[in-house]
Amino acid sequence: MHTQDFDITIKNLSKIEGHTDLDVGVKDGKVVSAKLRIDENKRFFTTGAIGKPALGIHQVVSRICGTCSIAHLLCCIKCVENAFSVEPSEQTVKLRDLLLYGLNIRDHAMHLYLFCLPDIFGKDSVLDFADDGYEHDLVHKAFDVKSAGNDQCVLVGGRAVHSPFPQVGGFLKIPKGEDARKMAKALSGIRESAVEFVDIFQKRDSRFDTETMYIALRNDRFSYQDGDLMTSDGLCIGHSNFRDHLQKFVVPYSQAPGFEFKGRPYVVGALARMNMNRDTLHRQTRKDLASALSAFPSENIFHNNLAQAIEIVHCIDSSIELLETMEFRDEPRKPVKPKKSEGLGVLEAPRGTLYYNLRIDDAGKIEFADLVIPTSQNQIKMDKDIGALVQDRMDRGVPRERLPLEIEKLIRAYDPCMSCATHFLKVNWNVRGNRRKPSRT
């Protein structure tokens, strides 16, 4: 039982974006509080959107996140199209599918292979992997998979980050058929490596189960841009009614807001999608990964990483089929006439459901913007799970020096936007209610 006083600080903070600390309070061997402090500076993107032309606002909001800028860009475009009653062509929908597939290959590969894989091998980072042999080969395979996703985003979107080709009503440039076939061949070349990584994450022994409500788009082709919002309880939520059930909270110790759905914390992301859509994965993915898919539905949050690994293979299989069978044709973008209106856009970003609500004035400029981000939606459940995990590991006799790493693994399983390469948490332990200055470890 952990009853003695101790303080831990993990230095060498390293993360994609944002600043994060964690306070854990322990009294008489019981966790009494766990607070994940997201200290990223206020960036005022919703305020900055006010007064901007609706037909170009997608390029502004794509700057919210360099990692998944494509998700913000496409969700915003969907929102504006909804407001202006624009129906994208079949080719446009397929090109957006390809762009989101490329994004998820690249984004999941970065997180899983570079940030989570070292946990499985007992390393601080991939830089500590052996210079030759199996570990060395895995690192090369990781970059090969990630590069393929990056190349697909460049082919379809014009750039992997802040893509210029997607527009309201269509694309500025359409890929050439021969380039699409080359991309399909490249994806076929890295598929075996992606399947190998699924096997690695399937064999991972980390486990932490909690009763959870999941929310994701449900559709018949595991698309990231279409479908109905569904809860794991079986409730279908109309896009326009989402806010009727969603409660936003100011988290006093964090810069990011938290959300509950009908008074309950919930989880979005790959695990939610896999729990609710695994039967709609690409047929080849279902066939080759049947063993890994047998783990779902799951309430083990570490299976979020397994779900991400499976999604990479699904995105590869789906992309190959589209790239090999589509007849790419130049097509004029539909004329769009701005009007006073309001739009909604919902899609699945790599880390979960992303929600846009925009109001547009008579001049076609934004007068109101509301964005619901996946990491914010997961924050309340993350806080609860961190406290529960620490209590569980303490009850199992896990040494206190191992607890920070256990916490980091849990947060990496959630894959929030401040995911880290090695250590990223400064942990202040408040034992028996006595706050002490953190010691350096």
In whole angstroms, what is the distance from residue 51 CA to residue 367 CA? 6
**Coil, strand or helix at 335:** coil
Q: How far is CA 351 from CA 2, 71, 216, 365, 439, in A?
A: 34, 10, 11, 29, 33
CATH superfamily of 45-372: Cytochrome-c3 Hydrogenase, chain B (1.10.645.10)
CA triplet 66, 69, 73: central angle to 5 degrees?
155
Highest-confidence segment of 26-35, 177-186, 374-383, 395-404: 177-186
**In percent, how much of the chain has pLDDT > 70?**
87
Token pair recorded at residue 325: 């069978």
pLDDT in tens, 247-276: 776 665 565 677 888 888 999 999 999 999
Q: End-to-end distance of the chain based on CA atoms, in angstroms? A: 22
Establish how many alpha carbons lie within 13 A of residue 75's alpha carbon, considering only the half-sphere containing its beta carbon.
30
pLDDT of residue 438: 41
Q: Which residue has the higher pLDDT, 10 or 251?
A: 251
pTM score, whole prediction: 0.91
In whole angstroms, what is the distance from residue 75 CA to residue 62 CA? 10
In whole angstroms, what is the distance from residue 244 CA to residue 417 CA? 26
pLDDT of residue 64: 81
pLDDT in tens, 93-143: 999 999 999 999 999 999 999 989 999 999 988 999 999 999 999 999 999
pLDDT of residue 88: 95
Which residues 6+ apart lie within 8 Å of 274 measured at CB? 293, 296, 297, 298, 303, 307, 310, 311
Residue 15 has pLDDT above 50, yes or no: no
Token pair recorded at residue 98: 């390809």
Closest among 141, 102, 99 to 316, alpha carbons compared: 102
Summary mean pLDDT of the chain: 87
Per-residue confidence band for 419, with pLDDT thresholds at 50, 70 and 90? very low
Contact of 335 with 87, CB cutoff 8 Å: no
In whole angstroms, what is the distance from residue 396 CA to residue 391 CA? 9
* For range 203-219, the mean pLDDT: 93
Phi and psi angles of residue 377, each rounded to the nearest 5 degrees, phi first: -65, -30
In whole angstroms, what is the distance from residue 377 CA to residue 266 CA? 7
* For range 196-208, the mean pLDDT: 95
* For range 274-295, the mean pLDDT: 98
Closest among 240, 269, 238 to 413, alpha carbons compared: 269
**Coil, strand or helix at 348:** strand
Residue 1 has pLDDT above 90, yes or no: no
Q: How many residues does the chain have?
A: 441
Q: Which residue has the higher pLDDT, 51 or 44?
A: 51
The residue ranges of every structural domain in the chain are: 45-372
